[in-house]
Amino acid sequence: MRIFAKNKKFLLSLWNSYAVLTESKHILEETLGSIYVIFVMRKVSVWVFVLFVVLCNSCKEKVSYPEILREAEKVMDTNPDSASVLLSKILNPGELTDAEKADYGYLTALAHFSIDKAMAEDGVIIYTLSYYKDHNVADKLAQTYMLAAEYYGWNNNLQMAVAMLNGGLDFSLEIQDSTWVSRFYRAIGQDYYSKKEYKEAISFFHQAVDYEENNGVDYQIGLSYAFLGNVDSMNYYINKAIDYAGEQGEHDVVRHYRRNYADILYHCKKYREALHIQKQIAGAGGSSWAVTTSIALLYLAMRQPDSARIYIDSTRVHIKEMKKKEPDATPDMSADNFVLALQAVVDYAGGRLINLQSMGAKNHEYWAKARNNELLIEEKVELKNKLEQQNLLLTIARQRLLLYIAWGMILFISVAVCMFLYIRRKRTKLIEAEEKREILEKLLKEATAVNEKDSAFFKKVLLQQLGLIKLVASTPTNHNQELLKQVSLINNSDVQTEDMLVWADLYKLIDSIYDGFYSKMISKHGILLTEKEKQLCCLLRAGFSTKEISVISQQSVQTIYQRKTVIRQKLKMDEKEDIIDFIKT
């Protein structure tokens, strides 16, 4: 026993060192493994993020809507067809911002207007008008009023169309833009002209000319006077329009005005004047089926069927040449019908029978072609709808893929977070184990040191009761082997070191060393405190720190602090008042 007593401290230190090193080894291995996992997870997360970015870029639209709008606006004046094609790439206008949506409606309607395309589906222009008015986009607002009027006109809402024209006129007058004032006056005049209200139309046409001279307006004034039977005014304004167009070098316009002027003279029974004008047009290289049929009609009016027959044959030649030049063009029924009607009159004048079968056959031919065109259009529309449906399915598939990727990223992030929390917990355990090792070494050092202080003596006794004194069983009996097995499990959380303490003996030791501390505590506060709280007070009196107490009791530091707070509350102490000093007094 004496030999064992001499080596007891050595054995105790050796056992503690072995236990702590064993636990530290396991924790270190787990930590190194966790660090490797972190390294791998970081690498994987980087590659997953790169893959996610690549997939997102591959799934998103390759076109930039704002860039399309800018390019369409650049080419609108010179090439509205190209602008319309560009705008058709915007498949979902709902993705545009408010300003972009307004510009999209404006440019789309303007492109359709410029290429004489139907505007019945350009309803976005109404949103554009509202947006431009609210945000005072003055440079485009007048044109927007005009486009909105066209949209309502295509939808046969003439009342709203006129309202848009009047709104545009008021705005143009407000900003004093003479060009747009003239355009709106002319547009309103054309509305009255289409309703055969020629006097009102003339009034607005005159106001349009007052703001800006335009040969087209003068021409429309002349036509209006023609329908009113005012030949002198008609002659004046149409000739004025012809002269002005000639000065501007608009030779095709001049031919158009003169040909229609000759037709008006025909209705005024001024056949020779009309014939003179038509022959001038034909002689100047402006001959067409419209000119030759007009000449044939004039010869019939002058009772010269033979001359009329010559120009009817000339008209047939023009029609054939026109069809050769443009074989895919929409056939003009009026040309053939004019020829057939004139031929019937010539035949009748020559005493021959009128043959309407050729006219019926020709009209049926045109009807069949028109029907075929309708079928082709329906087929194209059906094909377009199928393509749009396929595009929609592709869009849905891309969105579904993005959704799967997003869920995958969420799952990956969740796993990464769990791994991070798990690794952090392991690191915390390593730190706690290191602290326990330091505390145990400190306790061992204090317990084994030659020190007469009461605290050191109490800690030594406490340490012995924790199980280390059981090493005295040097005789290898079954009983001692069982005790050694219990000692080896001290570092295992399944064995409560606190249960190894014999507090009945420790309470007596506390009283003898610390001037009856335990007895005073029991007499004053024994009813208020639980057994665990009494034990905590005794350990505090013996000079144990909070961390040391947590090691002995195998409880967290936070739990020890909470128990100290509960003791203060039970003893009605201040929050920062010392428990030991309070009990001692």
Q: Which two tokens stand for residue 332?
A: 């003009």
Helix ranges (DSSP H) in 60-97: 65-75, 80-87
Q: Which two tokens stand for residue 425?
A: 């917990």
Report the percent of the chain where pLDDT is more than 90.
26
Where does residue 293 rank: exposed (0-12), middle (13-18), buried (19+ CB within 10 A)?
buried
Cα–Cα distance measured from residue 525 to residue 536, given in angstroms and rounded to the nearest whole number: 14
Report the percent of the chain where pLDDT is more than 70.
74
Band of pLDDT at residue 441, cut at 50, 70 and 90? low
**Which residues touch 132 (CB under 8 Å, ≥6 apart)?**
102, 106, 140, 141, 144
Q: What pLDDT, in 10s, does the model give residues 373-394?
A: 777 777 777 787 788 788 778 8
Band of pLDDT at residue 111, cut at 50, 70 and 90? very high
Band of pLDDT at residue 539, cut at 50, 70 and 90? confident
Instruction: List own/partner pairs for 222-225 with CB under 8 A and 24 or more apart.
Output: 222/261, 223/193, 223/260, 223/264, 224/193, 224/198, 225/198
pLDDT confidence of residue 493 = 47
Is residue 221 within 8 Å of 240, Cβ to Cβ? no
Q: What pLDDT, in 10s, does the model give residues 401-427?
A: 888 888 988 988 888 888 888 888 888
Cα–Cα distance measured from residue 456 to residue 296, given in angstroms and rounded to the nearest whole number: 138
pLDDT confidence of residue 20 = 46
Q: Which residue has the tokens 């009113």?
A: 228
Band of pLDDT at residue 490, cut at 50, 70 and 90? very low
Band of pLDDT at residue 349, cut at 50, 70 and 90? confident
Is residue 305 within 8 Å of 289, Cβ to Cβ? no
Q: What pLDDT, in 10s, does the model give residues 239-260?
A: 999 999 888 888 889 888 999 9
Band of pLDDT at residue 468, cut at 50, 70 and 90? very low
Does residue 131 or residue 327 have the better pLDDT?
Answer: 131
Select the highest-mean-pLDDT range: 172-186, 280-294, 301-315: 172-186
Band of pLDDT at residue 62, cut at 50, 70 and 90? very low
Q: What is the DSSP string of 433-473?
A: HHHHHHHHHHHHHHHHS----HHHHHHHHHHHHTTGGGGG-
pLDDT confidence of residue 112 = 93
Q: Which two tokens stand for residue 583?
A: 């009990």
Band of pLDDT at residue 225, cut at 50, 70 and 90? very high
pLDDT confidence of residue 449 = 56
pLDDT confidence of residue 506 = 84
> Residue 108 pLDDT more than 90?
yes
pLDDT confidence of residue 475 = 44
Q: Which residue has the tokens 């008209």?
A: 315
Report which of 482, 450, 445 is spatially closest to residue 467, judged by C-alpha positions: 482
Q: DSSP letter for 340, please.
A: H
pLDDT confidence of residue 281 = 86
Q: Which residue has the tokens 């319309």?
A: 84
Q: How large is the angle between the packed helices 98-114 and 138-154, nearest 10 degrees?
A: 60
Q: What is the DSSP string of 230-242?
A: -HHHHHHHHHHHH
Band of pLDDT at residue 2, cut at 50, 70 and 90? very low
pLDDT confidence of residue 543 = 82
Is residue 148 within 8 Å of 129, Cβ to Cβ? yes
Q: What is the mean pLDDT of the chain?
A: 79
Cα–Cα distance measured from residue 228 to residue 196, given in angstroms and rounded to the nearest whole number: 10
pLDDT confidence of residue 129 = 94
Q: What pLDDT, in 10s, does the model give residues 324-337?
A: 777 665 556 777 77
> Residue 31 pLDDT more than 60?
no
pLDDT confidence of residue 319 = 81
Cα–Cα distance measured from residue 509 to residue 517, given in angstroms and rounded to the nearest whole number: 10
**Which residues touch 483 (CB under 8 Å, ≥6 apart)?**
470, 473
Mean pLDDT of 475-497: 48
pTM of the prediction? 0.55
Where does residue 32 rank: exposed (0-12), middle (13-18), buried (19+ CB within 10 A)?
exposed
Cα–Cα distance measured from residue 37 to residue 116, given in angstroms and rounded to the nearest whole number: 68
* Residues recorded for the chain: 585
pLDDT confidence of residue 375 = 77
Select the highest-mean-pLDDT range: 55-69, 129-143, 372-386: 129-143
Mean pLDDT of 561-583: 89
pLDDT confidence of residue 11 = 41
Return the domain boundaries, the chain: 270-285+295-354, 355-441, 492-584
- Angle (CA) 74 77 81, round 5°: 90
> Residue 323 pLDDT more than 70?
yes
Q: What pLDDT, in 10s, does the model give residues 279-293?
A: 888 887 767 888 888
CA 176 to chain CA mean position, Å: 40
- φ/ψ of 370, rounded to 5, equals -65, -40
pLDDT confidence of residue 134 = 93
Buried/exposed 307-345: b ≥16 CB within 10 Å, e otherwise = bbbebbebbeebbeebeeeeeeeebeeebbebbbbbbbb
> Residue 584 pLDDT more than 70?
yes
Report which of 370, 341, 350 is spatially closest to residue 307, judged by C-alpha positions: 350
CA distances from 193 to 5, 202, 220, 487 (A): 129, 8, 9, 115
pLDDT confidence of residue 162 = 92
Q: Looking at 15-19, 274-278, 547-551, which range is the least confident one?
A: 15-19
Is residue 296 within 8 Å of 339, Cβ to Cβ? no
Where does residue 517 rank: exposed (0-12), middle (13-18), buried (19+ CB within 10 A)?
buried
Band of pLDDT at residue 492, cut at 50, 70 and 90? very low
Instruction: List own/partner pairs for 82-88 with CB under 8 A and 24 or more apart.
Output: 83/107, 83/110, 83/111, 84/108, 84/111, 84/112, 84/115, 84/117, 87/111
Cα–Cα distance measured from residue 519 to residue 538, given in angstroms and rounded to the nearest whole number: 11
- Angle (CA) 169 173 174, round 5°: 115
Select the highest-mean-pLDDT range: 27-36, 318-327, 449-458: 318-327
Band of pLDDT at residue 546, cut at 50, 70 and 90? confident
